[in-house]
């Protein structure tokens, strides 16, 4: 039994999955979480999700969590909850990048560039080998840097403005659905099977961008 959580964006979700040998991971249910109230909703919704299917937290064998990039506050809430549960239960955690989840949704082969709106006129970009989900790096780019980097490669994104920008620059684009916690569950299970796990104390957010507090502290020092 695997529990997955995604609190990286304006809205989030949790998923309960029954995973087995190979890549088999049957999603039991996905529960949406309204943005802005993750801290109040997350733990009660996890308890309700388990209870609705006749399970308790002791039935959970592993956790998967979206580690970023995304909302600083949202990610902290999700990671803190998963850390606490995993530590109490002594169960493994798989941290999954949202960019990796976007790349996993691609039907293209070879190297793809997963792209997500980072706000402030910037774009989160991750370079992946689509069929193997091998990461070659994730970064924060301006639109100009984005166009220069992606020429000759397939852009995979759930964000229409990014897709429109890429098409306007004659780039090849594949639009996918925004990743949810069920995608995080499936990718997390693959990571757990391959031994890519983190302990609660080592679980950290993958912000890519520095927080405003860090930026202002750097500027004033």
Task: Read off the tokens for 136.
Answer: 């070659």
Question: Among residues of the chain, what percentage have pLDDT more than 70?
Answer: 93
pLDDT (average), residues 12-29: 92
Residues 189 and 214 in one domain: yes
Question: Among residues of the chain, what percentage have pLDDT more than 90?
Answer: 76
Residue among 128, 126, 148, 150 nearest 138 (CA): 126
Q: Pick the residue with more confidence: 212 or 195?
A: 195
Give the pLDDT confidence score for residue 210 in this predicted structure: 59
Residues 192 and 171 in one domain: no
Q: How many domains does the chain have?
A: 2
Residues 6 and 94 in one domain: yes
pTM score = 0.90
Residues 187 and 93 in one domain: yes
Residues 20 and 90 in one domain: yes
Note down the domain range covering 72: 2-98+179-220
Residues 134 and 167 in one domain: yes
Residues 160 and 204 in one domain: no
pLDDT (average), residues 185-196: 94
Q: Pick the residue with more confidence: 34 or 115?
A: 115
Eight-state DSSP code of residue 163 = H
Which among 91-95, 147-151, 166-170 has the top mean pLDDT? 91-95
CATH number of the CATH domain containing 88: 3.30.420.40
Distances (CA, A) of 185 to 21, 119, 166: 14, 26, 29
* Beta-sheet strands, E only, within the chain: 2-6, 12-19, 25-33, 62-68, 93-97, 111-119, 122-129, 134-141, 154-157, 172-175
Residues 13 and 115 in one domain: no
pLDDT category at 200 given cuts 50, 70, 90 is very high
Residues 56 and 122 in one domain: no
Range 110-147 burial, b when 16+ CB lie within 10 A, else e: eebbbbbbbeeebbbbbbbebeebeeeebebbeeeebb
Q: Pick the residue with more confidence: 193 or 135?
A: 193
Phi, psi of 113 (to 5 degrees): -115, 110
Residues 119 and 171 in one domain: yes
Residues 38 and 85 in one domain: yes
Give the pLDDT confidence score for residue 111 in this predicted structure: 85
Whole-angstrom distance, CA of residue 52 vs CA of residue 136: 41
Give the pLDDT confidence score for residue 186 in this predicted structure: 95
Residues 145 and 122 in one domain: yes
Give the pLDDT confidence score for residue 196 in this predicted structure: 94
User: Does position 56 have pLDDT exceeding 60, yes or no?
Assistant: yes
């Amino acid at each position: 039994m695997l529990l997955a959580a995604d609190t990286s964006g304006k809205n989030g979700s949790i998923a309960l999955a029954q995973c087995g040998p190979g890549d088999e991971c049957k999603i039991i249910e996905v529960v949406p979480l309204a943005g802005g109230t993750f801290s109040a909703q997350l733990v009660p919704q996890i308890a309700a999700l388990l209870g609705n299917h006749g399970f308790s937290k002791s039935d959970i064998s592993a956790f998967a969590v979206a580690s970023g990039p995304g909302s600083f506050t949202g990610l902290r809430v999700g990671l803190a909850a998963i850390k606490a549960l995993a530590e109490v239960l002594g169960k493994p955690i798989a941290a999954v990048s949202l960019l990796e989840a976007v790349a996993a949704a691609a039907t293209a082969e070879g190297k793809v560039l997963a792209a997500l709106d980072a706000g402030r006129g910037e774009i989160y970009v991750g370079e992946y080998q689509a069929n193997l989900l091998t990461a070659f790096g994730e970064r924060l780019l301006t639109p100009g840097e984005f166009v220069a980097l992606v020429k000759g490669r397939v852009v995979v994104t759930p964000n229409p403005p990014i897709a429109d920008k890429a098409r306007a620059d004659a780039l090849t684009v594949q639009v996918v659905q925004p990743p949810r916690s069920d995608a995080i569950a499936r990718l997390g299970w693959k990571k757990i099977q391959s031994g890519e796990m983190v302990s609660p104390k080592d679980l950290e957010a993958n912000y890519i961008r520095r927080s405003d507090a860090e930026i202002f502290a750097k500027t004033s020092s």
